[in-house]
Amino acid sequence: MSGVDLRNVSLDALQAEVKRRFECSFKPRSRVVLVGPAGSGKGTQAPRLSDEMCWCHLSTGDLLRDEVKKGSELGREAKKIMDAGGLVSDDIVIGMIKNKISEPMCSNGVIFDGFPRTVNQAKALDNMLASDGKQIDKAIEFDIPDQVLVERITGRRIHLASGRSYHIKFAPPKVEGIDDITGEPLIHRTDDTEEALMKRMNSYHANTGPILDYYKQKGRFAKVDANRNVDDVWNDLKNAARPI
Ligand code: AP5
């Protein structure tokens, strides 16, 4: 609630937050990485995992879209790369993550979604955490065939402010085109075209595939079959992510 005048927050909301924090204090702490191609379901599952385990959800895609929305110089540069299905430079995304992981909401644990995407980013993340005596406890691959992704991506609609993800067929909002929680309009991401998707899939296999071996070699790897309905994927994910 930093930056918020607590006198303007209702007592009910404050009590709910205190209760949430109390319950969170009993949950295990961990840092997990979700690895999977565009449309594999990382952004659908991460908020559920965040609610269940009290770990913060850090999505580099969402952080970059925030910069685009703000119209910052970084955002303008990033938009061109994202719309073309390319990768934003390692320095930029590593810097964004560095700023976020030390925030109080990430003290219980972190779900990294869409980061790291290159072995260079994975090594930078390990160094960042090691300097604080921490590590990635599990990298979880969302295993899915490429051919499923086109329908998922072209039918996706998102709520820009929260990153909440819907699908016109598989996960429709209660009212067409409207976010269930805020009542605000949903948008079609400008990189959710078949053309950009092909580039993102190629980039995933070339650049992100090798990080799976990086985590396998460290013995911190798990895989879920992401080509099933949302609830079945969730059941496997929560077991894979739970610390031993
Ligand atoms: P980012 O936003 O991270 O995109 P992405 O990794 O390509 O992943 P997506 O958000 O497209 O897919 P998702 O797996 O979250 O799928 P979702 O759950 O929404 O990155 C965007 C861009 O930013 C990148 O291309 C790059 O340019 C840049 N970037 C980001 N991070 C970077 C980094 N670290 N380094 C460099 N550049 C970076 O699901 C998709 C759809 O399917 C939804 O409609 C959903 O409702 C539906 N769905 C989900 N699960 C199921 C299911 N089980 N069954 C049926 N439908 C489902």
Percent of the chain with pLDDT over 90: 89
Domain region containing 222? 29-241
Of 19 and 4, the structure prediction assigns the larger pLDDT to: 19
How far apart, in Å, are the Cα atoms of 43 and each of 7, 37, 77, 138, 159?
33, 11, 23, 17, 12
CA of 220 to the centre of ligand 1 (A): 22
The answer to whether residue 50 sits within a structural domain is: yes
The answer to whether residue 115 sits within a structural domain is: yes
The answer to whether residue 43 sits within a structural domain is: yes
CA of 191 to the centre of ligand 1 (A): 10
Give the model's confidence band at 187: pLDDT under 50 very low, under 70 low, under 90 confident, else very high.
Answer: very high
The answer to whether residue 7 sits within a structural domain is: no
Report which ligand 1 atom has the smallest distance to the Cα of 229.
53
Report which ligand 1 atom has the smallest distance to the Cα of 64.
23
The answer to whether residue 236 sits within a structural domain is: yes
pLDDT tens track for 40-62: 999 999 999 999 999 999 999 99
Q: How far apart are CA 191 and CA 198, in angstroms?
A: 11
Of 144 and 4, the structure prediction assigns the larger pLDDT to: 144
Residue 17, Ramachandran bin (φ over 0: left; ψ between -120 and 50: alpha; else beta): alpha
The answer to whether residue 15 sits within a structural domain is: no
CA of 165 to the centre of ligand 1 (A): 9
Q: Are the beta carbons of 93 and 60 closer than 8 angstroms? A: yes
Q: By alpha-carbon position, which residue is closest to atom 34 of ligand 1?
A: 115
The answer to whether residue 71 sits within a structural domain is: yes
Residue 97 has pLDDT above 60, yes or no: yes
Domain count of the chain?
1
Percent of the chain with pLDDT over 70: 99
CA of 43 to the centre of ligand 1 (A): 6
Residue 244 has pLDDT above 80, yes or no: no
Average pLDDT over residues 110-124: 97
Q: By alpha-carbon position, which residue is closest to atom 55 of ligand 1?
A: 170
pLDDT tens track for 121-132: 999 999 999 999
Average pLDDT over residues 131-147: 96
Report which ligand 1 atom has the smallest distance to the Cα of 34.
14
Q: Judging by DSSP bridges, how do beta strands 165-167 and 156-158 pair with one another?
A: antiparallel
Give the model's confidence band at 68: pLDDT under 50 very low, under 70 low, under 90 confident, else very high.
Answer: very high
CATH number, position 55: 3.40.50.300
Pocket probe for ligand 1: among 156, 201, 227, 231, the residue whose CB has the most ligand atoms within 8 Å is 156
Q: How far apart are CA 45 and CA 68, in angstroms?
A: 24
pLDDT tens track for 199-221: 999 999 999 999 999 999 999 99
Residues classed as catalytic: 42, 117, 156, 189, 200
The answer to whether residue 12 sits within a structural domain is: no
Predicted confidence at residue 30, as pLDDT, reads: 96
Residue 2 has pLDDT above 80, yes or no: no
Angle value at C-alpha 6, between 3 and 10, nearest 5 degrees: 130
